[in-house]
Amino acid sequence: MKQDERDSFFRLGPEQILQAVESAGYDCAGQLLALNSYENRVYLVGVESGSLVAKFYRPNRWSDAAILEEHAFTLELADLDIPAVPPIVIDGSTLFHFQNYRFSLYPLKAGRAPDLESKEQLEQLGRYIGRIHALGTTCSFKHRPTLDVHTFGDDSCEFLLENGFIPPELEAAYESVAKDLLDVIELRFESINPELIRLHGDGHQGNILWEAKDYGLGGPYIIDFDDARMGPAIQDLWMFLSGDNAQVNATLDILLTAYTQFHDFDTSELSLIEPLRTLRIMHHAAWMARRWDDPAFKYAFPWFNTQSYWEQHVLILKEQMGAMQEPPPQWI
């Protein structure tokens, strides 16, 4: 991130936020509330017609073309009555510029976390994810990356080692376990050769808002496609699985039975669950390290980049080697 862009992003304050929203044609009413987001800056903004959500993009993470590609995907989904939440379109545009900032505006959607113990809610999630993936197969992202061993694994390890985040006394252990893990993951991906499709990319409970209704079960809003990329279908499913083997298999059965009403699923991808979990662990540590010059990260995550954090990180990676040798969940 260029120094001036970085400093400007870190200093983003109420005055710039309200001026940016007004530059898109809204009359702000003065209310402003920061929402829970660290990668970007996201705010609930009061305007004369109600409230909307303003999302300011971190500089140099995504190109304009990549952001617009995400927007186009969510607009396609909404056109098919799939409950993604696309940005507001103003005069044919969804991405706006104000001073050094890039931002988009979204309608406010309220809801609670889904109940992953509810068969009915899991069935709805499975059906909608199946529909997302059915659309996701129709073309490829051209400006967004692929979730693979290189982008989530190799790049993450290299960044941590080259920038001195791993304590010297842990470097050898970290480098050894990381290399062994990535070799196994690479072979697993090569043996399965999964179809790569357009994904949400970060499918978990925190990115689902469940709208309650006076009648019926309500339904989900699927939010935050900021991590949308090419990858295997199981990436949007595995983080909804938890508990012991019996619970995991039961949840998987509900999700996939509903999912396959709209899109086929290759069960060989179940062998990618632990490799994908491992890549997520590696990528998350490197993501935190890449953002460590952002004061918001130091304030929110004071436990990161401590000796105990890295000791625990190496231990978790060693445990993942064992987890990847276990039989994957089953769906029959």
- Residue-wise pLDDT tens digits, 148-179: 999 999 999 999 999 999 999 999 999 999 99
Mean pLDDT of the chain: 96
The pLDDT value given to residue 6: 74
Q: Which residues are part of the catalytic machinery?
A: 202, 224
Instruction: Please give the structure tokens belonging to residue 49.
Output: 């017609």
Is 84 in contact with 222 (CB distance < 8 Å)?
Answer: yes
Q: Would you identify the CATH topology of the domain 119-323?
A: Transferase(Phosphotransferase); domain 1 (1.10.510)
Give the mean model confidence (pLDDT) for residues 103-108: 98
Q: Is pLDDT at 214 greater than 70 in this prediction?
A: no
The pLDDT value given to residue 1: 53
- Domain 3-107 carries which CATH code? 3.30.200.20
Give the mean model confidence (pLDDT) for residues 225-251: 97
Cβ-defined contacts of 156-165 (< 8 Å, 24+): 156/282, 156/283, 156/285, 156/286, 156/287, 157/182, 157/282, 157/286, 159/286, 159/289, 159/290, 160/285, 160/286, 160/289, 163/289, 165/289, 165/292, 165/305, 165/310
Residue 328: count of CB within 10 angstroms of its CB: 19
Q: For the chain, give every domain's residue range.
A: 3-107, 119-323
Is 266 in contact with 272 (CB distance < 8 Å)?
Answer: no
Give the mean model confidence (pLDDT) for residues 86-105: 97
Q: Is pLDDT at 145 greater than 80 in this prediction?
A: yes
pTM for the whole structure: 0.95
Residues above pLDDT 70, as percent of the chain = 98
**pLDDT-derived band at 212, boundaries 50, 70, 90:** confident
Give the mean model confidence (pLDDT) for residues 101-119: 95
Instruction: Please give the structure tokens belonging to residue 245.
Output: 């083997």
Give the mean model confidence (pLDDT) for residues 253-257: 98
233 closest CA partner among 205, 206, 252: 252
Q: Is pLDDT at 251 greater than 60 in this prediction?
A: yes
Give the mean model confidence (pLDDT) for residues 33-41: 94
Q: Is pLDDT at 48 greater than 60 in this prediction?
A: yes
Domains 3-107 and 119-323 share a fold: no
Residue-wise pLDDT tens digits, 266-299: 999 999 999 999 999 999 999 999 999 999 999 9
| Cα angle for residues 141, 283, 59 (degrees, 5° grid) | 60
Q: Is pLDDT at 332 greater than 90 in this prediction?
A: no
Q: Which residues are annotated as a binding site?
A: 207, 224
152 closest CA partner among 230, 212, 248, 49: 230
Give the mean model confidence (pLDDT) for residues 40-48: 97
Dist CA 141 CA 69 (whole Å)? 7
Q: Which residues are annotated as a binding site for Mg(2+)?
A: 207, 224
240 closest CA partner among 225, 262, 261, 222: 222
The pLDDT value given to residue 172: 98
The pLDDT value given to residue 8: 84
